[in-house]
Amino acid sequence: MSGSKHFDRIAVIVMALMLVLTILFMNGAALGIEAMAHTMGYENRLFDNTKVHSVDIVMDDWDEFIANATSEEYYMASVVIDGESYKNIGLRAKGNTSLSMVSSLGSERYSFKIEFDHYDSTRTYHGLDKLSLNNLIQDSTMMKDYLTYTMMNGFGVNSSLCSYVYITVNGEDWGLYLAVEGVEESFLERNYGSDYGELYKPDSLGFGGGRGNGGDFDPSAMFGSRDGGNGFDFGGTDTDSRESGVSSGRFSPPSMSGGGMPDIPFSGGGGFGMGSSDVKLQYIDDELDSYLNIWNNAKTYITKADQKRLIESLKKLSDNQDIASVVDIGQVIRYFVVHNYVCNDDSYTGMMVHNYYLYETDGRLSMIPWDYNLGFGTFGGGNATSTVNTPIDTPVSGGSSDRPMLNWIFESEEYTALYHQYFAEFLNSVDIQGIINNTYDLIQSYVEKDPTAFYTYEEFELGVETLRQFCNLRSSSISMQLDNGETADNMSYVDASAITLSDMGSMGGEGGRGGGMGGFGGDMSGMPEGFTGEMPEGFGSFNLPEGFNPSNPPDNASGNFPGQFSGSQTEATPSEASGTAGDNNTSRPAGGGRQMPGDDFRFHMDGTGNPASNQTGWIWIGASAAVLAIGLAVAKIYKH
């Protein structure tokens, strides 16, 4: 009898432990247990940044592929990466404004996207499913993206891995590109483990070229708007909206026929940007339809429970309540430290309010960086002295009150102090000049022989030297801001008048080989009558007033552009929303897609399944407890 009693006790203890482990397994994040990142296998292969890697694209129909590049259709190809061959992968051209720009330049140097699993869902490159090959347009330094991603990773921000690759096509030289890890399934598993959360890429603007991002972009609109007005046309529905799940309308860049900015009225409250309220991550109301620019750009399958959870987090964020429960404080502050260092106005903190990923798990939010080729003040190419002295506490034009994902930092003395502490740590721990010098030594011989580069080698040399000086001056200014406690006003601590920001490549930069927006070579059929290929005088700087800093416009230039998008866009049907967001693949609803409100599916990368929400997790826990109770009751009855 004594042995039987001991056995019963042991059985009860074991079953109790099993229940505890079940609770921890299914609700670890909610209980404060962080998911463990995975080592995938590709990290130290293609993304070994101590060398330039080789990528040979093998295609019989390359000429057809290039001729059809702006359609962004996938073609079957083979790639040989550092001697390893991968057959039957998916390859397409990619880009937003840059895609149309390359075509308008008469160039064939498109950015590319490789989907290793496009035709075979089991195929990866050592665990990597998606890879971007960036053409380095608008970047004479060839390293603005690379430098920013390297600084982000070096400072502990979850961000894409990247490395340089020299591309050949069927054995023929094509050019130096930047390989960037796609922010999709592999990225999520590498950084957050297999039980990762939800991923979104909020965007309400379409600049052409990207899937669902204004594929009907017309370069001639820069010289005369379609609507005959100020050059901004927000009406209508984008022809590619069904692929992104968002009817974003069209954006026609401002009329530049006179070399200046159009007369654009501004209205509304604080802030200065075109992005809609949901893209700014503001709480609007509890209606799901008010956040379509988030849902329609989801990169993981989402449910109504996921949507409601995110809205609740945005409400707390906008109200500045219980921030620690809705923000990954360390990740977000570190993100904004590096982000605000590089002065990128083509971003969440800039006029356009885009180019970021939003990650959410169990109600906690964080930012993932994306697209910095117009960083370092080159989006507007304005006054260098004003830009390098941009105050670290006021990076948003008109104030950050309408950007709650940033504003919470400055609403709290504690978090502001932590932000300043992290900034000092960043300046002291990340060897920015060392990264620039090592990168220059690594790539300069490849730049010199690059047959399709947008800039000449001499422009590359000037760009790199300008980048060195910019970073040196920016670091000095921020150090003085922190030392003097003047972090909110532009005190012009350093003089940057000796450098010209557009020498690093800019929205209106002119490359000697037809880079940037200048030097339109090739086919001029899409240009206005009489256009010779030269951009209007002053286009690069938009004829901005002397001393103008895009991050600090005049006080009367606050608010939103008229006609900004609301939550009334047309919702995609389930059949139109299959495949990945932004990558239509109707034959294979693999990861990276999105679900519209009302659907009840969730993306699973490894097939094991993870809870759609905390509610589902507790249902399973309740079921486990019920099974345990029944088992104990049966054992008790059997014993008697």
State the pLDDT at residue 7.
57
Q: What is the mean pLDDT of residues 563-583?
A: 34
Express each pLDDT in 59-98 by its tens digit. 999 999 999 999 999 999 999 999 999 999 999 999 877 7
Give whole-number Cα distances, 125 to 39, 45, 254, 416, in Å: 13, 10, 42, 42
Residue 609 DSSP symbol: -
Q: Choose between 421 and 35: higher pLDDT.
A: 421
Q: What is the identity of the amino acid at 619?
A: I
State the pLDDT at residue 546.
42
Q: Kindly report which listed range (45-54, 543-552, 590-599) carries the lowest average pLDDT score.
A: 590-599
Q: Sorting pLDDT into bands at 50, 70 and 90, what band is 557? A: very low
In whole angstroms, give the CA distance from residue 358 to residue 345: 18
Give whole-number Cα distances, 6 to 3, 9, 13, 60, in Å: 5, 5, 11, 73
CB 239 within 8 A of CB 210: no
Long-range CB contacts for residues 463-466, cutoff 8 Å, separation at least 24: 463/139, 463/140, 463/141, 463/142, 463/503, 463/504, 463/505, 464/141, 464/142, 464/143, 464/436, 464/440, 466/141, 466/499, 466/500, 466/501, 466/503, 466/504
Q: Kindly report which listed range (29-33, 53-57, 360-364, 505-509) carries the lowest average pLDDT score.
A: 29-33
pLDDT at 299 over 90: yes
Sign of CA dihedral 447, 448, 451, 453: positive
In whole angstroms, give the CA distance from residue 230 to residue 261: 9
Q: Choose between 398 and 466: higher pLDDT.
A: 466
Helix axes 457-484, 413-429, angle to 10 degrees: 140
Sign of CA dihedral 84, 89, 93, 96: negative
Helix axes 432-449, 457-484, angle to 10 degrees: 170
In whole angstroms, give the CA distance from residue 185 to residue 486: 42
In whole angstroms, give the CA distance from residue 473 to residue 400: 24
Q: CB-hemisphere CA count at 13 Å for 108?
A: 11
33-45 CB burial, b ≥16 within 10 A, e <16: eebeebebebeeb
Residue 239: closest CA among 255, 217, 223: 217
Q: Sorting pLDDT into bands at 50, 70 and 90, what band is 634? A: low
CB 405 within 8 A of CB 348: yes
Express each pLDDT in 387-401 by its tens digit. 999 999 999 988 999
Q: What is the mean pLDDT of residues 246-253?
A: 29
For residue 276, the tally of other CB atoms under 10 A from its CB is 26
State the pLDDT at residue 278.
96
What six digits make up the tokens of 601?
Answer: 């599916």
State the pLDDT at residue 352.
86
* Helix (H) or strand (E) run with residue 568 in it: none
What six digits make up the tokens of 200?
Answer: 């979104």
What six digits make up the tokens of 171?
Answer: 């054995």
Residue 370: closest CA among 52, 117, 149: 149
In whole angstroms, give the CA distance from residue 416 to residue 408: 9
At residue 146's C-alpha, the angle toward residues 470 and 151, to 5°, is 70
In whole angstroms, give the CA distance from residue 310 to residue 304: 10
Express each pLDDT in 395-420 by its tens digit. 998 899 999 999 999 999 999 999 99
pLDDT at 239 over 70: no
pLDDT at 271 over 60: no
pLDDT at 52 over 50: yes
Q: CB-hemisphere CA count at 13 Å for 124?
A: 16
For residue 5, the tally of other CB atoms under 10 A from its CB is 10
Q: What is the identity of the amino acid at 79?
A: V
CB 464 within 8 A of CB 373: no
Percent of the chain with pLDDT over 90: 59
3-class state of residue 55 by DSSP: strand
pLDDT at 206 over 60: no
What six digits make up the tokens of 583?
Answer: 């990558």
In whole angstroms, give the CA distance from residue 75 to residue 447: 28
CB 388 within 8 A of CB 494: yes
Give the bridge partners for 334, in sequence order: none
For residue 321, with 0-12 CB atoms within 10 Å meaning exposed, 13-18 middle and 19 or more buried, which class applies? Answer: exposed
Express each pLDDT in 315-364 by its tens digit. 999 999 999 999 999 999 999 999 999 999 999 999 889 999 999 999 99
Give 591's contacts (C-beta < 8 A, 6+ positions apart): 129, 184, 185, 300, 580, 603, 605
Q: Sorting pLDDT into bands at 50, 70 and 90, what band is 128? A: very high
pLDDT at 573 over 50: no
pTM exceeds 0.75, yes or no: no
Residue 505: closest CA among 440, 459, 445, 448: 459
Q: Choose between 604 and 510: higher pLDDT.
A: 510
What six digits make up the tokens of 151?
Answer: 């600084």
CA 353 from centre of chain: 11
State the pLDDT at residue 636.
62
Give the bridge partners for 93, in sequence order: 112
3-class state of residue 114 by DSSP: strand
In whole angstroms, give the CA distance from residue 50 to residue 427: 23
State the pLDDT at residue 438.
98
Q: Sorting pLDDT into bands at 50, 70 and 90, what band is 121? A: very high
In whole angstroms, give the CA distance from residue 95 to residue 106: 16
Q: What is the mean pLDDT of the chain?
A: 76
State the pLDDT at residue 195.
92
In whole angstroms, give the CA distance from residue 97 to residue 101: 6
CB 99 within 8 A of CB 70: yes
Helix axes 432-449, 144-154, angle to 10 degrees: 150
Give whole-number Cα distances, 343 to 283, 380, 388, 559, 637, in Å: 26, 11, 8, 20, 71
State the pLDDT at residue 603.
26
